[in-house]
A and B are shown apart, each in its own frame.
Chain A
Amino acid sequence: MNFCLNFPLFLIVLSLASAVICSVLNGKAARLTAICLAALSAVLNTVILFYTYRNNISIPYLMGHYPHPWGNELRISPMEALFSAAFSSILFLCLLGGTMQIRQKVQQDLSRYFYVMTCLIQAALLVLVYTNDIFTGYVFIEICTLSSCGILMIRKNGRSTLASVRYMIFSLIGSGLFMFGLIFMYNVTGELLMPNVRSAVRVLWESGRYRVPLLTSICLMTLGLGIKSGLFPFHIWMADTYGTAIPGASAVLSGLVSKGYIFFLVKLIYDVFDIRVFYASGVQNVLFVLGAVGIILGSVSAMRENNMPRMIAFSSAAQIGYIYMGIGISPGLGITAALFQILAHAATKPALFLASGVLTNAMGGAKKFRNLQGSGYVHIWGGISFTFEAFSMIGVPLTMGFMCKYLFGAAAFDASVTKLVLTLAVLSISTILNTIYFTRSVICIYRLPVAGDRTRERSQTSFIFAAAVFIAVNLFFGIFGKSFIDALGNCVTIF
């Protein structure tokens, strides 16, 4: 069974090769290639997950059998396998559920490039999750940025192009800060391999030498990844980006790309900054405050929005805030809650974007709530999917959203009294705000249209399948999530 440890490298190379192959195929063949690749990646990563979890394996994988510093390394553990499997499965469902809209909204001769970009995003996400080298992480962060911009600018209208420019500007600012932080880290430690950097960081922190450059480096790298993933107050690009992109692209960007950056940050906290140094540095308090403010202001912005995709985008900003708040709460339960929130949001938001896409399509491209009245009757599965995922976002019991809020509440009891009070207050306020704007949108799509009868639209089988799987997964982890969260906590300890 040891050969399955070669799967990550195999999948990374295969994803990069598939991107090249897709660029010379026609749209249909490229779509098939990208979907099969995502499915294969999901299956192989699940195999790695079972193998590493059962045998409690967390080992470096030497690429080409060359040790550091001549060769490059991956790190294979249950945590990496779990997130790779989750990201690949969600990519598979996004591509499947968004097929029709990609076909309709992207020029036929350009559609293959959309799939080229998704293959590159998959390669970048796999590397961000598995890599054991900071600089390799930086290079694939940039590859992820460029491919994400590619799936945004594939629609040639002015708004998409402007949204791509804004996305690129914020992403490049984030990458620049990350790179400068990385250089500071290399400057004080002389290492790029994560375990070696962590050992050097521990020694430096205990001796008190280079305290300022070390702290600067931690701040710059955290801030860089925060900006790229949409941490408040750098979330302003999200509404334009997710609001104008095709639903499949919004689903991939909000569900996977931003989560890939956050997972990489969690990996850095454990493997580079050292968990004790990070929580002694005070950076976690800044993340906690920014996350908490982001939750409230993101929800308020979503409440004021009258455009459905933009409302979901602002809701994403609030959900990202939860993850950062979790990281800020405490190293044990807080990080576990943040990791579970990454998975929950990655399994919910793409489904919401896909559902809003089919609902707006069913109403002739209308995005404003007043023009979406009755869309839930026109596209039955779109309505069901949107309603269920909206309830999950609110945190209705038996859904993943409820489990997340419960976990954040439980984690807060591990933290100081101030953080406990703030967390509980933020959770209560945000739940009320979420209830207001999501209930309003559900009522709107099920309100009878003012005039004219619309014929019921037939749902595409691939969309029904994707929506049903998203709902089933959400329910499963919402009901039986306890043992999964315990396992996640175990994985954190051997991270």
Chain B
Amino acid sequence: MWTILWNNRIQVAAVILFAVGFVTLLLHRNLIKKVIGLNIMDTAAYLFLTSIGYIQGRLSPVITEADTAAEHYVNPLPAGLVLTGIVVSVSVTAVMLALTIRIYRRYHTLNLDEIYRYVHDEMEGEK
């Protein structure tokens, strides 16, 4: 059991990081910390993907004329997926931060409980 965990230590670390990010995003009341949790979660996924794409002893996937055997190079696909994922992650982070700024300008707080209270008060006056 411990040997399996040690052999896959990077993946285990990635899963733990993912869980930390997930819980922060779901349960933390502070909006900025939620965004941080989102980024930890995404980064953990990229760490997992990068670690499974890397094979010790193989070259980076830039084929030279001297060595054209595919088995001497690592698989370039995980790195490509990570790059795409980073673009997605940056976009959603930007939108979340924009929403956070808009919320802060209106309610002068980042605490979701306080924001709910303000919004609840606004709803009381609704028809």
Tell me the smallest distance from the CB of B44 to a CB of chain A, in Å: 8
Does B67 belong to the interface (CB within 8 Å)? no
Q: Give B81's nearest chain A residue, CB to CB.
A: A135
* Residue pair B123, A159 in contact (C-beta under 8 Å): yes
Tell me the smallest distance from the CB of B81 to a CB of chain A, in Å: 6
B48: A residues at CB distance < 8 A: 180, 183, 187
* Residue pair A158, B25 in contact (C-beta under 8 Å): no
Question: Given the interface contacts A162-B115, A169-B26, A187-B52, does A179 sit within 8 Å of B127 by beta carbon?
Answer: no
Q: Give A152's nearest chain B residue, CB to CB.
A: B99
* Residue pair A146, B91 in contact (C-beta under 8 Å): yes
B91: A residues at CB distance < 8 A: 142, 146
* Residue pair A169, B77 in contact (C-beta under 8 Å): no
Does A64 belong to the interface (CB within 8 Å)? no
Does A168 belong to the interface (CB within 8 Å)? yes
Does A149 belong to the interface (CB within 8 Å)? yes
Q: Give A240's nearest chain B residue, CB to CB.
A: B119
Q: Give B21's nearest chain A residue, CB to CB.
A: A176
Does A345 belong to the interface (CB within 8 Å)? no
* Residue pair A164, B99 in contact (C-beta under 8 Å): yes
* Residue pair A367, B85 in contact (C-beta under 8 Å): no
Fill in one digit per residue for A148-181: 1 if any B CB lies within 8 Å of its CB, else 0. 0100010010110110110011001101110110
A135: B residues at CB distance < 8 A: 81, 84
B99: A residues at CB distance < 8 A: 149, 153, 161, 164-165, 168
Interchain CA distance A187-B99 in the complex, whole Å: 35
Interchain CA distance A138-B85 in the complex, whole Å: 9
Q: Give B116's nearest chain A residue, CB to CB.
A: A162
Interchain CA distance A245-B4 in the complex, whole Å: 50
* Residue pair A176, B22 in contact (C-beta under 8 Å): yes
Interchain CA distance A139-B106 in the complex, whole Å: 32
Does A300 belong to the interface (CB within 8 Å)? no
* Residue pair B22, A173 in contact (C-beta under 8 Å): yes
Which of A149, A169, A173, A180 is within 8 Å of B45, CB to CB?
Answer: A180
B112: A residues at CB distance < 8 A: 165
Interface residues of A in 180-216 (CB under 8 A from B): 180, 183, 186-187, 192
Does B49 belong to the interface (CB within 8 Å)? yes
B102: A residues at CB distance < 8 A: 153, 156, 161
Does A447 belong to the interface (CB within 8 Å)? no
* Residue pair A69, B77 in contact (C-beta under 8 Å): yes
B25: A residues at CB distance < 8 A: 169, 172-173, 176
Does B74 belong to the interface (CB within 8 Å)? no
Q: Give B106's nearest chain A residue, CB to CB.
A: A158
Interface residues of B in 100-125 (CB under 8 A from A): 100, 102-103, 106-107, 112, 115-116, 118-119, 122-123
Which of A139, A149, A192, A371 is within 8 Å of B95, CB to CB?
Answer: A149
Does A397 belong to the interface (CB within 8 Å)? no
Interface residues of B in 31-66 (CB under 8 A from A): 31, 34, 38, 41-42, 45, 48-49, 52
Tell me the smallest distance from the CB of B115 to a CB of chain A, in Å: 6
A162: B residues at CB distance < 8 A: 103, 115-116, 119
Which of B22, B88, B107 is within 8 Å of A158, CB to CB?
Answer: B107
Tell me the smallest distance from the CB of A418 to a CB of chain B, in Å: 32
Tell me the smallest distance from the CB of A175 to a CB of chain B, in Å: 8
Does A365 belong to the interface (CB within 8 Å)? yes
* Residue pair A176, B127 in contact (C-beta under 8 Å): no
Q: Give A136's nearest chain B residue, CB to CB.
A: B84
* Residue pair A146, B106 in contact (C-beta under 8 Å): no
Fill in one digit per residue for A70-94: 1 if any B CB lies within 8 Å of its CB, else 0. 0000000000000000000000000
Does B16 belong to the interface (CB within 8 Å)? no
Tell me the smallest distance from the CB of B12 to a CB of chain A, in Å: 13
B126: A residues at CB distance < 8 A: 367-368
Does A366 belong to the interface (CB within 8 Å)? yes
Tell me the smallest distance from the CB of A182 to a CB of chain B, in Å: 9
Interchain CA distance A172-B88 in the complex, whole Å: 11
Does A364 belong to the interface (CB within 8 Å)? yes
* Residue pair A168, B92 in contact (C-beta under 8 Å): yes
Binding site for B on A (CB under 8 A): 69, 135, 138-139, 142, 145-146, 149, 153, 156, 158-159, 161-162, 164-165, 168-169, 172-173, 175-177, 179-180, 183, 186-187, 192, 364-368, 371
**Contacts A139-B88, A153-B102, A364-B127 known; 6 new A-B pairs at CB < 8 A:** A142-B88, A146-B91, A158-B107, A162-B116, A180-B45, A183-B49
Q: List 28 A-B contacts (CB under 8 A).
A: A69-B77, A138-B88, A139-B84, A142-B91, A142-B92, A146-B95, A149-B95, A159-B119, A161-B99, A161-B106, A162-B103, A162-B116, A162-B119, A164-B99, A165-B96, A165-B103, A168-B96, A176-B38, A176-B41, A179-B45, A180-B45, A180-B48, A186-B78, A187-B52, A192-B77, A365-B127, A366-B127, A368-B127
Q: Enumerate the 3 nearest inter-chain pairs by beta-carbon distance, A residue then B residue, closest first.
A: A366-B127, A142-B88, A176-B41
